[in-house]
Each structure stands twice: as structure tokens, then as C-alpha cells.
A and B are shown apart, each in its own frame.
Chain A
């Protein structure tokens, strides 16, 4: 079955700098890759997603890239702000249309 690995587990960046979180997946049939942001005491919030027929997608300061050949996808956050501090999860949708989740990355924005 599908397996998703996410790195790093913790990422600390200076406010205003960029942050990059990387995920790899194992099942080449996976074709939908969402990213979720989870703040303390809240449920995961969808922030961006990408389909397998697209290599890159942007939404203001957030972008996701997908390399189907290498089976990895990444989240890029530019001009980081204190409110970006949270746990970020990547996921891949398997052939049963179920999400397989990464272990999460705790993003810390230093003032």
C-alpha cells in the first residue's frame, strides 16, 4: 500500500525567510496530494493541493511542487510570518481514494 514520508519533523526559520517541507510517496498510482496546516487545538485545515497532471501550484505565499518521476512533492512558504507557525501535514490519496498521511512537520517562525 501507499506510504508517505515527511521531512523534516521540526523546522525553525527566521521571520521573513522561506520554509520548505518535503514528502515522498511510494505508490505511483497516487494522483492527489493535499497539504494541511494544524494549529494547536484545531483540526487540520487544507491550505493547498495538487493533482498529478500539474507540476506546480501557487496561492499567494504558498506553493507546492510535484515530481511524479521521483515520487516526491514539496511545500514552499515564502516571506514567513508568525501566524505560519503550526504543524504541517502532507498526504497522498491512494487507489481507494483514502488519504495516507505524513508524520507532520512542526514549523517554528522565529521573530
Chain B
């Protein structure tokens, strides 16, 4: 089976940097994805790491360490609109995703 653990909630102030961690246990590993979901909205893809290291996309970066079964999402220059839930996920055979429980990020002014 597959399981992913991430903190349930994180709070940060506008303009700050926040890191959301994710640890996983999988039978077979293809990579780690991150999705953002605003309340009542659809999950939207943010990033995917197949190899160790840091991937940067604008204000968002994602890191993976396969040896530690660990990854994180880094959000810089936080904006109010970044308040949302963030999910790490691993694809299985056929690419169906197993999601973590989600981290609710609250950005305060």
C-alpha cells in the first residue's frame, strides 16, 4: 500500500516563506506531485519531482529526497491568495494518484 503524511495546518504571514513537508511510504516509487486546492475548487497541479533535488517554478519550489522518502513544497513571498489546501501525492501504476491528507495553509495579513 501507499501512505503519505503531511501536517494538517500551517499558518504564515503575507510576504513570508513557508515549507510544507511530506513523508511517504510506497510500494514502488515513480515521483512526488503537489496539488493546490482552494475551498470548493478543483485540485490544480503545482509540481512533480521524479529525481532528487529542487524544482523551482516561480514562487513555488518542490524538493525530493528519495533516500529519505521525503519531500517538501516551498512557497515564497506568500500572498493572501495562497491560502488553500496543499496535497502531496504519489502516482501508482496507471498513474492513479494516492494523496496525503492535505495541509491547510492560512496566510494572514
Partners in one complex: no
Give chain A's interface residues, CB within 8 Å of chain B.
none
